[in-house]
Structure 1
């Protein structure tokens, strides 16, 4: 039986718990202390709640971050220095170039999950042959952008038609929209980098889906990919596919 440590106990972590593959068990959950009693009751004491992953006195087979960019910054380096395997869904944390270097040099094993977008394997392959241009566009409903920096750029309550409200680099997008733009960071890290990946963020009052559009050009040719996914019912900022990406990491662990 493989044992996973979850960092986070929000909507994505709940989705992972509900879909956990056979031969994989949650051993520890890093969460706010206010959640600890609920965790103990839910798992009948078989899962240990923690406020810090380093309080674990065993070795998890996988540490799965399902929380936030802040959690990656707070715990990532220490987890990797323990020699543990860390899988990150909040890839936007690596928009901080200093943090990225610390994580890459910390030891252990760092896996960046594909999250809510497809085609990262093709993008990485194209990189081997010379990428020239990568553009990523995210189109989401007003509800998905509420509580974010988008509220300072556009009136989400009155928008009547699809509008682009942000254009810039993946680094800027990941920093300004930490809960919404992790896909932009994933695309950038798989392709031409944080500063050269162009990002457009769009609000569309006519949609209930999260649509990710990727256009890639290079010496290999070009490809255009569009993925239209549903957000988690419990959190419109989180893509169902992103949660399933974390589940897949657990399934791959079970097959090791």
Structure 2
């Protein structure tokens, strides 16, 4: 397996360090043209730095997307058509039906696969198993401190710069609407939707809560299997409070699972 990283932000830097410890080398970095020069000092000296899929070294087999929705939309289809497997944590981007179809057709054309890292949530294996029967309802609730919603549409509903009197809901709707309206905040909603009943049937509630200091993700589901409630309180990466540590870890786990003879 020869890997290239898309992006060089906090999640990408975590992946770089973790894969290095596992003896894996980053063959190349795929970055925006305007960031090529500024990133030469922050990546391994023997890694190529390119701005397009066609410029990647010919021995690269996997592109690891750490660049967000725009990066996956811009480079994911080209990589898949070129026969590269793509691992992404930008799952919310798949709420766009046109992009979803493009990724499917590109993977089919290239004989490749798009691997979805689990991101900042767990229990997705339970949802995938449960959907083999009848899943009656799946609800995802995302709860963050008010500052965690700054830069999102929540600012149009709540005054996030002033102390909130209590936990306040600023979005209720489908996972598709959440993922499209909150591209930097609702990847978890998309992951839950894809594992369970889909983007349009998965219910989502997003809450700004002044009483917490970490992000809390909760899934409630019921169906033929019974019912379950799963909740996780997630820490952020030390060098970027907006990036989930578990999301970065899930990318590393997906990379390491590729070559395992037995996958758990």
Q: TM-score range by the shorter chain?
A: over 0.9
Query: For structure 1, which segment, 33-42 or 4-13, has the greater mean C-alpha deviation from structure 2 after superposition?
Result: 33-42
- Are residues 1:175 and 2:180 paired? yes
Residues 91-100 or 43-52, more deviating = 43-52
Counterpart-to-counterpart distance in 2, 1:175 and 1:24: 34
Matched, 1:25 2:25: yes
Structure 2 equivalent of residue 137 of structure 1:
141
Q: Distance in 1 between matches of 2:237 and 2:114?
A: 26
- Would you say 1:112 and 2:116 are equivalent positions? yes
Indicate if the aligned counterparts of 2:27 and 2:57 stay in contact, CA closer than 8 A. no
| Aligned match of 1:163 | 168
Aligned-partner SS, 1:6? strand
Is 1:232 the counterpart of 2:237? The answer is yes
* Counterparts of 1:183 and 1:161, CA distance in 2: 24
Q: Which residue of 1 aligns with 2:9?
A: 10
RMSD of aligned Cα (Å): 1.6
1:43 Cα deviation after fit: 4.1
* 1:153 Cα deviation after fit: 1.5
Using the TM superposition, give the Cα deviation of residue 32 of structure 1 relative to its aligned residue in structure 2, in angstroms.
2.7
Query: Displacement, 1:138?
Result: 0.4
- 1:62 alignment partner in structure 2: 62
Asked whether the equivalents of residues 15 and 243 of structure 1 are also in contact (C-alpha less than 8 Å), the reply is: yes
Could you tell me how far 1:133 is from its partner in structure 2?
Answer: 0.3
Q: 2:244 & 2:57 partners in 1: Cα distance?
A: 33
Counterpart for residue 156 of structure 2:
152
- 3-state SS, counterpart of residue 242 of structure 1: helix
- Alignment of 1:188 onto 2:193: yes
TM-score (norm 1): 0.94
Unaligned runs of 5+ in 1: none
Once residues 201 and 35 of structure 1 are traced to their aligned partners in structure 2, the CA distance between those partners, rounded to angstroms, is 33
Separation in 1, partners of 2:181, 2:43 = 36
Residues 44 and 245 (structure 1), Cα distance of their counterparts in 2 relative to 1, 3 Å cut: closer
The separation in 1 between residues aligned to 2:34 and 2:165, in whole angstroms, is 40
Return the match for 1:207 from 208, 212, 218.
212
Deviations 1:102-158 (A, max 9, x none): 211212111111000001111000000111100000011122111111111211122
**Higher deviation after alignment, 110-119 or 15-24:** 15-24
- 8 Å contact from structure 1 (residues 65, 72) kept in 2: yes
Q: Is the 8 A contact 1:23 1:254 kept in 2?
A: no
Specify the alignment match of 2:225 in structure 1: 220
Provide the rounded CA distance (Å) in 2 between the counterparts of 1:61 and 1:44. Answer: 19
Distance change >3 Å, CA 10–CA 129, structure 1 → 2:
same
Alpha-carbon distance in 2 for matches of 1:62, 1:44: 18
Task: Give the deviation of 1:52 after TM superposition.
Answer: 1.4
CA contact (8 A) 1:5 1:26 kept: yes
Which 4+ stretches in 1 moved above 4 angstroms? none
SS of equivalent to 2:2? strand
Q: Distance in 2 between matches of 1:81 and 1:59?
A: 15
Q: Is the 8 A contact 1:40 1:47 kept in 2?
A: no
Q: Which runs of 5+ in 2 are unaligned?
A: none
Question: Retained in 1: the 8 A contact 2:77–2:103?
Answer: yes
- Equivalent residue pairs, number: 255
